Amino acid sequence: MGDSGGKIKVKKSAPALGSADAAASDDSRDASSRIEDGVQVLRTAIKTLPNGPGVYRMLDARGTALYVGKARSLKKRVPSYTRINQLPNRLKRMVSETSSLEIVTTHTEVEALLLEINMIKQLRPRYNVLLRDDKSFPHILIARDHAYPQIVKHRGAQKREGDYFGPFASAGAVNHTLTALQKAFLLRSCNDAVFRARTRPCLLYQIKRCAAPCVEYVSADDYELLVAEAKRFLTGDSRNVQDTFATRMNEAAEALDFEIAATYRDRIRALAHVSSRQDINVEGVGDADVFALAEQGGQTCVQAIFFRGGQNFGGRAYFPSQTRDLTPKAALAAFLGQFYGDRPPPPLVLVSELPDELALLEEALALKADRRVYVRAPQRGGKRRLLDHALTNAKDALGRRMAESATHIKLLAGVAEAFGLEAPPQRIEVYDNSHLGGTKPVGAMVVAGPEGFEKNQYRKFNIRSVQDGDDYAMMREVMTRRFKRAQEAEANGEEVVWPDLLLIDGGKGQLSAVLEALQDLGIEDLAVVGVAKGPDRDAGRERFFKPGEEGFLLPENHPVLHYLQRLRDESHRYVIGAQRQRRTKAISENPLDDVAGVGAARKRALLARFGSAKAVGRAGLEDLETTPGISKAVAQRVYDHFNG
């Protein structure tokens, strides 16, 4: 979405923000003064606002987006934020932090809505309703870029030629379905390189999960028939496909060809297994998404269930933030806008209650889908029962989350008591390292807080300066990189979240390494605790080390001890997985990838001439220069790379 009508920007007329004097002055003012300053910014902006549709952005002193909204009339919408007594506390805080206002005008309100959705997804403003888990859904892909199409799990942009089926709610649902489809339709799952290299069937053929087109055990026409049947099943014609298999099974049995009959029996069972995993199927629901919203204690849960071709592809619970002051209709409208921000909507969207601005939302979804999209809230019949089922799931998920949150808050209070902290930590960072014989070392950080593990905050560090397995040096590098970046970001005016507690996997040595790194950076106010494994790595005998104190134990079976063990185990799991990924990637790496100026085409030319990267490294400069597609300058770079 482009800038249809232009931009207007209004800023506070205040001292230069970012200076120490300005910051100190701002901190000294009370809340009412800051609110009045924000209101003044908006009142100044109102004088020049157009009367047409558009999107407005509230920005803080650092230029960070606080809130993004759209309006049919900017001149009528923005003044509502100056009536402070009518605003909820969330928006009062937003106005108090507002230092400037930017707008982008559009031709229509629908364009404004689509632009708002894109901006919220890109800028993640802290006062907007936000989806905390917005990763793409997995699909099943039947690729069409090969004579014998491949069936695979696919996540991300749908750029590869082929037919996509989904979305599925989880990777597990896709894997179960893929296994059943391979048994039923015998489609290949290997990549093209493996397919070309086969001279005899692989194990999948032996266990009756592939028709072995790689060695021409099935003709192209017969394989295409299998592909067509798989597509029929995935598009909702499952009953007819199963009936066809049943007819063939009976015909084979009558012809006394019991081996073929048994094959069709197994294929029918595989398809029945897929159908049995569908929790609820409703007559008349073809392609549809179902959303039910539940609220409790100021928190919101939206349960989503996906139907494609009349089949239930599973569901997922979402917990959008910043919904405390919104009505369910407004929260659902904001959720749906963001949910379909980067994915096409189905023809039918069922909701537990109709969202605000329904007609506008339907028009925006229709533009994205390039066809009509209906948003409906049925009150009776099978579709209503489906929504009631989704609503029950939403309430159950919200109840579990609130119970887990209460437990985490209690455990964090216990952590504060065990380690002598002033208050329960809101952000705990756990660090661990992993290597294999000193090679491919990796450091990792996992994050936990009142809502449990915050996996979108996890970070891994490919260790650069240490290759001999020195755990202390690895920990120093990780600490230096983590907190030097934080200091640089803060110096550039970016918002930085600092931890309340660092948990280090290791004893006094690792703790000392961390303290040295922090001291070199001038950081002295972070709580740091080392966690050393017990004798013989005995769980429950972990010893905890604080700076300047002797190690101590927590009582066995103490809830806080179990919680700290879970944190430590999660860091182990994550760092070992990261190290394994680095090793796997190294196996497939080519030394030519590190040569500046050698891309895919030049690499192919060199490998075609010399056969391997090792042979390229041994080649003389004259041989490199005579390689087709390799200039003298590139040949010199390749030669220098391998010969110093």
**DSSP designation for 224:** H
Cα-based angle 316, 125, 337 (whole degrees, multiple of 5):
45
How high is the mean pLDDT of the chain? 83
* CATH number of the domain within which 445 lies: 3.30.420.340
* CATH number of the domain within which 630 lies: 1.10.150.20
Single out the residue in 379, 399, 419 at which a domain terminates.
399
pLDDT score, position 544? 93
Q: State which residues form the domain around 631.
A: 591-643
Q: CA-to-CA distance for 514 and 531, rounded, in angstroms?
A: 13
pLDDT in tens, 253-262: 777 877 777 7
Residue type at position 88: P
pLDDT score, position 139? 83
Out of 17-21, 78-82, 237-241, 367-371, pick the least confident: 17-21
Cα-based angle 266, 269, 273 (whole degrees, multiple of 5):
140
Single out the residue in 93, 123, 153 at which a domain terminates.
123
Out of 28-37, 193-202, 319-328, pick the least confident: 28-37
- One DSSP character per residue, 113-162 reads HHHHHHHHHHH--TTS-B-S--PPPPEEEEE-SSSS--EEEE-S---SSE
Tokens encoding 414: 């216990």
- Is 407 a member of any domain? no
In the chain, how many domains are there? 5
Which of 311, 303, 321, 261 has its CA nearest to residue 281?
A: 311
| Number of other residues whose CB lies within 10 A of the CB of residue 600 | 9
Q: Rounded mean pLDDT of 333-362?
A: 89
Residues 259 and 149 in one domain: yes
Residues 467 and 490 in one domain: yes
Place 414 in a pLDDT band, splitting at 50, 70 and 90. very high
pLDDT score, position 527? 94
- Is 404 a member of any domain? no
pLDDT score, position 21? 46
**DSSP designation for 552:** B
The CA distances from residue 391 to 361, 395, 396, 439, 580, in Å, are: 22, 6, 9, 51, 41
Residues 567 and 450 in one domain: yes
Q: Are 511 and 531 in contact (CB under 8 A)?
A: no
pLDDT score, position 28? 43
- Is 386 a member of any domain? yes
Q: Are 51 and 103 in contact (CB under 8 A)?
A: no
pLDDT in tens, 425-469: 999 999 999 888 777 889 999 999 988 888 889 999 988 887 777
- Is 193 a member of any domain? yes
Residues 452 and 368 in one domain: no
Residues 439 and 561 in one domain: yes
Residue type at position 488: E
**DSSP designation for 17:** B
Residues 443 and 580 in one domain: yes
* CATH number of the domain within which 92 lies: 3.40.1440.10
- Is 236 a member of any domain? yes
H or E element, residue 505: strand 501-505
Place 5 in a pLDDT band, splitting at 50, 70 and 90. very low
**What residues does 552 pair with on adjacent strands?**
544
| Number of other residues whose CB lies within 10 A of the CB of residue 456 | 10
Within 217-370, strands assigned E span 288-296, 299-308, 311-318, 348-351
Q: Are 266 and 183 in contact (CB under 8 A)?
A: yes
- Is 22 a member of any domain? yes
Place 22 in a pLDDT band, splitting at 50, 70 and 90. very low
Single out the residue in 94, 123, 152 at which a domain terminates.
123
Q: CA-to-CA distance for 218 and 297, rounded, in angstroms?
A: 60
Out of 153-157, 512-516, 543-547, pick the least confident: 153-157
Most confidently predicted of 78-82, 161-165, 196-200: 78-82
* CATH number of the domain within which 363 lies: 3.30.420
Q: Is 557 exposed, middle or buried (0-12, 13-18, 19+ CB in 10 A)?
A: exposed
Residues 579 and 610 in one domain: no
Q: Are 40 and 100 in contact (CB under 8 A)?
A: no
Q: Is the model's pLDDT at 2 over the cut of 50? A: no
Q: CA-to-CA distance for 327 and 308, rounded, in angstroms?
A: 30
Residues 582 and 445 in one domain: yes
Choose between 158 and 391: higher pLDDT.
Answer: 391
- One DSSP character per residue, 69-122 reads EEES-HHHHGGGGG-GGGS-HHHHHHHHH--EEEEEE-SSHHHHHHHHHHHHHH
Crossing angle for the helix pair 328-339 and 109-123, nearest 10 degrees? 80
Residue type at position 611: G
Q: Are 458 and 446 in contact (CB under 8 A)?
A: yes
Strand duo 501-505 + 428-436: pairing: parallel
Residues 436 and 580 in one domain: yes
Residues 442 and 581 in one domain: yes
Q: Please report, rounded to a whole number, the percentage of residues in the chain having pLDDT higher than 70.
A: 89
Contacts of 30 (CB under 8 A, 6+ apart): none
pLDDT score, position 589? 66
Dihedral, CA of residue 89, residue 93, residue 96 and residue 97, to nearest 10: -160
pLDDT in tens, 363-398: 999 988 888 999 999 998 888 888 888 898 888 888
- Is 40 a member of any domain? yes
pLDDT score, position 355? 92
Residues 607 and 575 in one domain: no
Residues 556 and 505 in one domain: yes
Q: CA-to-CA distance for 269 and 123, rounded, in angstroms?
A: 48
Choose between 277 and 368: higher pLDDT.
Answer: 368
Q: Rounded mean pLDDT of 37-66?
A: 88
Q: Are 361 and 336 in contact (CB under 8 A)?
A: yes
pLDDT in tens, 204-236: 888 888 888 998 888 888 898 888 888 877 776
Cis peptide before 149 (omega within 30 of 0): no
3-state DSSP percent of the chain in helix, strand and coil, to 5:
50, 20, 35
- Is 413 a member of any domain? no
pLDDT score, position 279? 45
pLDDT score, position 445? 95
Cα-based angle 504, 509, 514 (whole degrees, multiple of 5):
50
